[in-house]
Chains A and B, each alone.
Chain A
Amino acid sequence: MLIEPKLFKNRKFLIKSLLVVLVFLPFIVELFGNAWVRILAFSLLYIMLALGLNIVIGFAGLLDLGYVAFYAVGAYLFALLSSPHLIENFTHLQLLFPAGFDFPSWTLLFLGAIVAGFFGLLLGFPVLRLRGDYLAIVTLGFGEIIRIFLNNLNTPINLTNGPQGIGSIQPLLLFSIDFSKSLELFNISISSLQLHYYLFLVLTCFIVLVSNRLEKSRLGRAWIAVREDETAAKASGIDTTRVKLWAFVLGASFGGVSGSLFASFQGFISPESFILMESIVIVSMVVLGGMGNVYGVVLGAVLLYAIPEILRLVAKPSQEFILGYELIPAEALRMLVFGVALVTIMLFRPEGLFPKNK
């Protein structure tokens, strides 16, 4: 009993110091260039995505290979409702909104979650009774179907603008802060990139909290039961279909919010950002972190996003330095890292970086 309070204090200290580091990080990193702050912001975005997928794969044990579809839904919803695209292409909208759309950012983010969640329900309903590998392939197909539609719905009516994507997406306006401009606070200038970083940081912490709460709840126990032994779970009175649907819907809504944030952050989206490889990347993050382990998945996401990005920045110059030319293009290197990561983790440490030992 004496050990417990000491561990507890240690943990609190650790969290506090981590938070301090996180708060100052963008300023330290900006000394090296804007690209690094962008890496930080995107790392957080991927953490959010990985945590969302963690609910589906990690908690409920459902292998979803088309998660990027929900990301896309959130992104396109935000983009369509906050860019001039729809108004330019549909005259009756032009009449209804002569000054353009001007929906509040909170509404759009919320809508992104809801609509993506709805797509999760749509997908989940028919698909959840399939066995594991079939479920994987069907969700993969769903992700591809969404991408193909996004890529081709520019004729006969131009809904998504096809491969050209949608641009001029309005930036976020939250707490009366315009996220596209820098903010003056106590004589410190916080750039737009850094603002986005802080917003993502807050939201990520929120999602971590939500994940933890879900895990230790009645629903979380039901998920783990379903994952461990579905028949035994049913025999313990769990409506496994409903429980699995919840996993899908919640996971999807996290993806949707991330998508909306992505759209406003980047200002421009196209179907290229929502390819199958992205789904696989997010799956890798969950697998590396240890399926179901919230903090493991956070680390897995950071590693699997940051390392390839760093590789991308240094691969070309270092190869040219050593070999004289670029033998392996950065994109290929990135993909190779993922492929090798997936295979080696499964072969040598399938429980992930942080096995759940209790």
Chain B
Amino acid sequence: MFACIYIPNFSVAAALRAEPELQAHPVAILEGKPPLERVIAVNGKAGGLGIAPGMTKAQAELCPELALRLRSAVQESSSHSALLDCAQSFSPCVEDTASDTVLLNLAGMESLLGSPAEIARAIAERAVQLGLSANVAAAVNPDAALLAARGFSGVTVIPPGKESEKLGSLPVGVLFHDHAEDDKIETLDRWGIRNLRALAALPNVALSERLGQEGLRLQQLARGAVMRTLVPVEPPLVFEEAVELEHPVVLLEPLAFLLNRLLEQLCNRLASRALATQELRLTLELSNLTGVDDDFENIGIPSESDGGVDVQVASQIVSRRQTRFSRVLRLPLPMLDAKTFLKLLQLDLSANPPGAPIMKILLAAEPARPRSAQGGLFLPPSPEPEKLELTLARIAGMVGEQRVGALEILDTHHPEGFRMRRFVAEVARKTPQRKNPDAADASSAVTALRRLRPPLRANVTLENGQPTRVMCPRKKEVSGDVLWKAGPWRFSGDWWEREAWARDEWDLALRNGEAVSFYRLVHDLLGGGWFVEGMYD
């Protein structure tokens, strides 16, 4: 068995997929360069109001409730990709017949997915989930399924052997999807052949004498007797959704509304292919306002030079003319939650605003295998990755992107030899098994240093080259006579770099009134200053 998915009125369907709120309104699609735009497609409601393809824009605008949309190649491409995703979620053998039509082979699927009728219904439901209203037909040969899908709305299943009977009522127009063959329709119409039953009943010889082999092929199609093999395609795993805006967006709330729609479409497409994503790329095309460059320079629009180490948001490209703004959201684990993605994008955009009105939104997802981890019954709890990402993004919005994460010790003797990296909580992370984890090293704690960031500059009184009194003007409590000292311990490093450092370290006990505290005092041998670097606590 073969199935065909056909999207009637594809241009309108693509527009309605991008703007579902237009479902209840009359919609007409325009094409052409201004001022020569013409209506190329209308939905049923617009047809009821008298709007027809071929009208000029000015004629269509006479109908006040009509929603006019320019034909969008981006939206049609997204819809076609969604159509392919829908088909691929049911069968690996899919033929990309036309932008609005795909054929799929259902052989062997009955044991997995049920009868052809059930599969066809499931395909129609999946198409609705992906934002497309599709006609689905199943038949024993692909062309019969295709004609049935183009001719009958909803779900149609043609039992084997009933092709001619079932297709007979269809008009001959379904055989000619391309307008280039209108002359054949005209010829058949002159003969009084108006449906497929009449065409199928014509004598073969007489038909071939008049229309040649093409006539015989059309007759075979009308009888539902053409058997051919599909030309399967392997659609590339490209998940992109876009929306072009008629009016520029300048606030986050309406942008979030649009992003939510795109993310839901993307997540539905990924889910239909049993995939998740680990990277989201948001590209905003901005309105090119001339003469505002000076303003942009003073409003803190992030530039490439501002970018620090790659953490969550990896790249940000803002051209000088402010025409394109890109953000890349990298996730530690594959996820598939539109709400989480939306919140992360919102947080990111509020921290890094694009700086100009937005005219077009393009959102792409890099597919990844969904994570498969099973938490152990006796494992300690760990944060949920989606929740944790949101939490970290919110905290990063408060304290800064580079100030939240996990520690990583660097292979250096530098006193601040560490860097921050992304914190990832994996449920299935292997933990070193110990017989009694609490008994290990529990007998003694390590004397910890509390760092003062930045180090406190100190006035140090020396006696025989050794500190005897320390005064910190910025922090009075870090002052006093030196009761006890150990040092100096000399360290140096990175002499081959511009940031060379050399220092003497002292461990001191300072008496400040009644209290005695222990500090690390540092003498910068290159800069010449004294600093209190931290406190032993």
A and B associate in one complex: no
| Chain B contact residues, CB within 8 Å of chain A | none
| Chain A contact residues, CB within 8 Å of chain B | none
